[in-house]
Structures are given as C-alpha cells and as structure tokens.
Amino acid sequence: MSEFRLKRVYDPAAPEDGRRVLVERLWPRGMRKADAALDDWLWDIAPSRDLRRWYGHDPAKWPQFRRRYREELAIHTGLLAKLQADAGEGPVTLLFAAHDRQRNSAAVLKEVLDEGWGHGGRAPTQSQEPRQGAEQPRFRAMTESDLATILELESGCHPDPWTIDMLQTSLRQGHHCRVMELDGAVLGHAVLQVVAGDAELLDLCIGAGIRGQGWGRLFLRHLIREASEAGACHLFLEVRASNEAAIRVYSGEGFHQVGRRPRYYVLPDGREDALVMARYIGDGEQTL
C-alpha cells in the first residue's frame, strides 16, 4: 500500500520520512540545502506561478485553489506516476514550505496521489468539478494523418475555416500543432507559434458537439504552459469581436484586450473586427 506523508520542509528530517521530496516551485526561503535532506525536488509539479500568486494563502480562496490545482495536476501524469512508483518502494514525504499545514498545495497533491492518480502511468481521472468523473485528455503533436479529421472540425468551428494548405504549412514550419484527444477520439486542435520570446495562438478549436464542458479552457491552459516552457513571455491571439464564447474563455484565463484591428476578418457575409488579446506568461515581473 503506497504511503504519502506531508511535512513542512522546515521541520527536522526523520528516518520515518522515507523518501523526502520537495514539491515547491521556489526554493524555501532561508532553508539550507543540507538541512532540507532532499532525495528529490519536483518543482514542476507545484502550482503554476499564476495560481500560486492568485491564491496567496487566502483561506477564502482555498476551495477554488484546490479545484484549480487539481486541474493543473491532471496534465502531470509522468510526475504523478513517478511519485506512485517511488511510493511502491516505501513511504514518500511531500515537503512544503507554507505555514498553513492543512490548506497548501502539497495537501492537494497528497489527496490526488491517495486517490490513485498516476497509477500504472494512466492519466488521472478528475473526481472534482469542472469535469466530474471524466477521463483526462492527452495532448499530442498533430500529424498529416490527422488532417482529414481536423478539416472536419475546422468547418464546424470557423466561418473562415483553415484550409489543408494552411495546416500543412504550419506543420512544415514547425509550429506547435497540437491535438487534444480522449480514448483515441480527437476533441479539438490548436496551432501555436513561438518566435523570439513571444507566442501567438493561431487557432483553437473544440468539436461543435462537446463545447461548454471545460475542454477549451483545459486545452488553453496546456497551450499557455507549452508556450511558457518554450521560452515565450507573452502570448497573443486574435479573435473575432463577436466571438463571445472564445472571448470569455480567454478572459477567464487572464487575457486582456490590447488592440483592435478594424475589418480584419474577411467573412462570407462581410468583414469583422479582430480583437487582439494578450497575456503575460513569463517568469519574472509582468510586462504587459
């Protein structure tokens, strides 16, 4: 039976800790490496910088923090599987820095590990909102063999759908062309371009029959993380001014309008303005 324990990193190490794993993104203030007696430091499994800052250990935000961090954890199947494998060898102590011993990210991590997330390398199932009881999708690179499916999705997504030439060009140019799928079924696709510290989301599309279930937001969060990991500090996108659903998804994930391009889109029934939206996704001080 796997055993995960919680401990504040500032408390003295003890033999019963077993494997001591720090699960903070930042090194704990004032802590000496030797005193921490770490076996591992999984900084990448910690809450994203934005989530951590938003939470700020405000007890009123705890329920929402817990839900949002569980969503973030859903994409860390590899790290969860590693922790489960470690726990197969003996106790694993998850070390955190927060003063609050109950309401911290390590407690959420322990909760999902105790629920069995990451067992056998499987994607975790989310037992909490927004997608109750649902399997988690996986994100993978788009290939030529996806194009027929993608074109079908495109025709149900945009008044000016991408053509096969546009998709092939994006693949050739090495854009981050991604597919989100669940049990082999394609739920949606996206195209992201990262150039010299900036990223642009060129396309995001969720199948017409499955919208409004949280897939778009989940995909967007994955793309933000991917762009950030590729070194981008800002993520830009253009959206039709009347596309309320998309604007709501983007606003909900911290994007702000930074410009407007009049009559930018050429549509079958005329022209429409584009809103330019952007979000800072870098590590340092926000510059947008």
Ligand X SMILES: CC(C)(COP(=O)(O)OP(=O)(O)OC[C@H]1O[C@@H](n2cnc3c(N)ncnc32)[C@H](O)[C@@H]1OP(=O)(O)O)[C@@H](O)C(=O)NCCC(=O)NCCS
Cβ at position 254, least distance to ligand X in Å: 13
* Beta strand segments in 124-207, E: 125-126, 134-135, 138-141, 176-182, 185-195, 198-206
Cβ at position 188, least distance to ligand X in Å: 6
Binding site for ligand X (CB under 6 A): 157-158, 204-206, 211-217, 237, 239, 243-246, 248-249, 252
Cβ at position 216, least distance to ligand X in Å: 2
Q: Which is nearer to ligand X, 20 or 175 (CB)?
A: 175
Q: How far apart are CA 44 and CA 93, in angstroms?
A: 17
DSSP secondary structure letters along 97-143: --S-SSSSHHHHHHHHHHTTTTGGGPPPEE-STTSTTEEPPEEEE--
Nearest residue relative to ligand X (C-beta): 216
Q: How far apart are CA 280 and CA 48, in angstroms?
A: 13
Q: Which is nearer to ligand X, 42 or 204 (CB)?
A: 204
Closest by CA position to 62, among listed 111, 13, 20: 111
Q: How far apart are CA 48 and CA 29, in angstroms?
A: 18
Q: Which is nearer to ligand X, 25 or 128 (CB)?
A: 128
> Cβ of 7: how many Cβ atoms within 10 Å?
17
Q: Which is nearer to ligand X, 22 or 278 (CB)?
A: 278
Q: Which is nearer to ligand X, 219 or 280 (CB)?
A: 219
Amino acid at 285: E
Cβ at position 48, least distance to ligand X in Å: 17
Q: How far apart are CA 137 and CA 93, in angstroms?
A: 29
Cβ at position 241, least distance to ligand X in Å: 11
Q: Which is nearer to ligand X, 42 or 220 (CB)?
A: 220
Cβ at position 245, least distance to ligand X in Å: 3
* Beta strand segments in the chain, E: 4-8, 19-22, 40-41, 92-96, 125-126, 134-135, 138-141, 176-182, 185-195, 198-206, 234-240, 256-267, 270-280
Q: Which is nearer to ligand X, 44 or 244 (CB)?
A: 244
Cβ at position 199, least distance to ligand X in Å: 14
